[in-house]
Structure formats: C-alpha cells, structure tokens
Chains A and B, each alone.
Chain A
Amino acid sequence: MSAPVVETHSLAKTYGLALVLRDVDLRLLSGAGAFVIGGNGAGKSTLLRILAGLEAPSGGHAFVFGQDTRKLAARYRLRIGVMAHQSFLYPNLTARENLEFFGELYSLAEPRASADRWLSRIGLADVADARVRTFSRGMEQRLSAARAMLAEPALLLLDEPFASLDHDGAEIIASLIRGAIERGAAVIATAHAVPEIEGVEFAVYEIARGLLAEPAPKEEVRRGGRIRSLLGR
C-alpha cells in the first residue's frame, strides 16, 4: 500500500482566542480527490494553507509526502500546486509572461512552450499577450489554475476553484482536476457546495466551525446531515 500524500493528526489552529481548526484527521493517497465543503469561516482555507506550508498548525501534525508541513524543503514544495483566493499573478505581466515566470521558478525544461500549452488548455491562447490586469475575475481564476498545475504537481490544493467562474470556465477547471487525478495526483479542493465533476470519484468531507466530518456520500453532504450530527444539532 502506498504512503499517503497527505496525512493530518489532531490538527488544530487558533488565531488568538478563535479556534479555527480542531482535531482534524485527514488522509489522502495518490490519485485520490477530496472536496472539503463548508460555509464561510468554516476553516477550509486555513486547512489548505497549513497543508501548503504557509501557516504552522497550533496543535497536532500535518504531513505532506511524509514531511512535516512546518518545514517543507524545496524538493517537496516543487511537488505541490496551490490555487488560493488570491491569484498570485502579476497584473502588469501578460498571461504568457506570468506562466513563463512560474515555469522558470519550477525549473521546467521549456517554460515558454509549457506556458503556451497551458494557455491553450484553459482557453486563453488568444489573450496570451494581454496583461493580466485587463482580465476578468473568471479569466484570472483560470490562469491561476494553470499556474498551480503548470509543473504537474503530485499534490494539488485548490481553494474554491469554481468561484467566480461561468459554466465554460467551471467545465475547464473540472477537466483539469479530472486530468490531474487521472495522472495520479492527489487533489484537495474546497467549495461551499458539492460540485458536479463527471467521470471522477472524490471523497466529500464537510467542515463547520473547524470540525471535519468523516467522508460522506454527496447526497448526504448536500443535506448537511453528517456535520449536523457532529456539531450535535
């Protein structure tokens, strides 16, 4: 049995007196997808930030590729792709320049060719030389997804990847997630509601007030049954 890509034990996070995550246990293998579903302030983004190594947990442990996320060496960061609320893109660079720049940071063999390939995949090839500051929120979101997936990471952490997207944009992101899982990447994404992604199985976890419920069937999560019982309501 392969080692888990992501593993957390009793993970907790506090900001001052606010308890944002508590006792989170999560385990994910290569080629598996998981959606963490919850409302605003439920702890979704904090969980992803800890897994990405951007924040240290206040309690418990988080491991990615068997490494403690508090000290993720460059060779492990190389294998993680993160898409967050902020796009991490430079508004005064063009779409191609942005992807090319990140391609160089991730030591891709042909950053420019990779950038062009991804621009085609996300349907932005015709605006490759336009500056990102001229993009709509949805276009920026697609480019941000391409930036996260550019180096074909073994772990993808996607924070609300479908937010601000129209139907076509959501289809593109869904196909990218499907493609990542099919090539063996582990994917953890967050959303407010269970998304529809055809052709791929993923576990659905509900999160509320920092508590993560056991994975449940999509229908049950849509009714909010599992998290209600966990919260004692």
Chain B
Amino acid sequence: MSGFAAVLRKDLRLELRSGESTLALLALSMLVLVVLVFALDAARVRSVDVAAGALWVAMVFAGMLGANRALLAERDNGAIRGLLLSPLDPGTLFAAKLAAALIFMAVAEVGAVILMVLFFNLEFDQSIARLAPILALGAIGFSALATLLSAITGRTRGGDMLLPILAVPIFVPALIAGVKASAAALAGAPLSSMGDWLKIMVAFDVLFVTAGYLLFEHVVGED
C-alpha cells in the first residue's frame, strides 16, 4: 500500500508542478465540444443526444492523453527500470498509474460537463447528477485499458499514434453503452432504466482492471 501511495503521490506532485496533462485535457475537451456544437445542427437532432456524444468523444481523447502522461514520466532517465527493480509489485504499479490517470480524467470530465451544459443549453439539475456514475464507470474502464495499452505502445516507435488505433476499437462496446446511458440520463430517465448499458460498462471495467493488474508485469518489463 505504501508503494501505491508513493507512486500516486509522486505522479500528482509531478503533474501539479507542470500542469501539462490537466491543461491539455481541459483544452482538448473544450476544443472537441466547441467543434461539435458548431458542426451539429441542434434544431434537427436532440441536444441531449449530441451532448452525450460530444461528452464521450472529449472523454476518450482526455483518457488517452491522461494515460499516456501517467507513463511518460517513467520513460525519462529510464525511471521505469528503477520501479521494476524496486520491491514494488507490478500490479500495484498498475493500480497507482490507473489511479493517477483516473484523477487526471476526472478533472477533465468535470470541466467537460460544465462546458457541455453551457454549450448545449442544458440545466444543472438532477440529470447532470445522474451522469456521475455513468462517467465514473466509463473513466475507470477507459483509464484501465489506456494505461495497459500505453505501457505497450510507449515502448514502440510512434507509440503515441498507436494508442488510439488500439484503444478506441476495443473501447467501442463500453463507448456505445456510455453514450446511450448518458443520453438517457440527460433526457431525465432514471438510472434503473439503463441497467443493460450499465452492466456492459461494469463488465468492461472488471475485465480491463483485472487484465491490467495481472498483465502489467509482462507489458511494462524489459524486452
């Protein structure tokens, strides 16, 4: 547990010092939302559907950036080797990296939700509160997937390009479930009516958090 806390504290300290990830995530989220709000005609489509889609596009981009940043610091000076040589369990390292990516993503999501409400003329009401568990499930699953994959792609040339190519298709089932559930939540439906979508997201989370915990040792190690 002390190893988990030490790595997470170190990652947050590095982020607070540079602010690179959080600023980039917020800027990217804003860009996506602005583009979509102008690209789509709100008169012809339901604004809650567009808003839900825009929010998840922003979230996917933010998640990729967050996971990449969380592992990027370990590439400087071969720091990842220092961690692998230490008594730290690789599964614990994955958990700490996942937690850091989740925190970065959560900050970006809060910003993105505020922008979404403003850009799409929505109300800050119960429907926004109902988004919280849906976004949390999406963030956990996508952070776990992106953290696992960025450990692989970070070792390859052009890894930054490879991450979205690998991550987005795998995330599609959870993405569809997230968009559908978010649109329903914004339209005022209760969480109990989205059971099937939420089950898909929970299954995705369990699968990739477990896979990441068990496989991280093999993907982050030496060649």
Contact = CB atoms under 8 A, between A and B. Distances in A.
Contacts of A84: 78, 81
A166 B173 CA distance: 59
Nearest to B3: A105
B82 A91 contact: no
A52 B85 contact: yes
A86 B6 contact: no
B86 interface: yes
B167 interface: no
Contact of B77 (A54, A82, A88, A97): A88
B87 interface: yes
B199 interface: no
A78 B10 CA distance: 20
Q: Which of A49, A52, A91, A105 has the most CB of B within 10 A?
A: A105
Nearest to B15: A92
Contacts of B5: 104
Contacts of A106: 86-87
Interface in B84-119: 84-89
A107 B18 contact: no
A104 B3 contact: yes
Which residue, of B5, B18, B77, has the highest number of chain A Cβ atoms within 10 A?
B77
Interface in B1-25: 2-3, 5-7, 10, 13-14, 17-18
A101 B6 contact: yes
B13 A97 contact: yes
A88 B82 CA distance: 5
B3 to A, nearest CB: 6
A91 B18 CA distance: 12
Contacts of A185: none
Interface residues of A, number: 28
A89 B222 contact: no
Nearest to A73: B87
B13 A105 contact: no
B87 A78 contact: yes
Contact count band on B: 20 to 34
B83 interface: yes
A53 B222 CA distance: 10
Contact of A77 (B73, B85, B222): B85
Nearest to B6: A104
Given A74-B89, A102-B86, A90 B10 contact: yes
Nearest to A107: B2
Contact of A105 (B18, B76, B86): B86
Contact of B76 (A80, A91, A147): A91
B85 A87 contact: no
B79 interface: yes
B82 A102 contact: yes
Contact of A75 (B79, B82, B86, B87): B87
Nearest to A15: B223
A23 B207 CA distance: 44
A93 interface: yes
A62 to B, nearest CB: 14
Interface in A140-184: 147
Given A93-B14, A101-B10, A105-B83, 15 more contacts: A53-B85, A74-B89, A77-B85, A77-B87, A84-B81, A88-B78, A89-B82, A90-B73, A91-B77, A92-B14, A92-B17, A92-B73, A104-B2, A104-B3, A105-B88
Top 8 nearest A-B pairs (CB, nearest first) are A88-B82, A86-B78, A104-B6, A74-B87, A78-B87, A105-B86, A87-B77, A54-B222
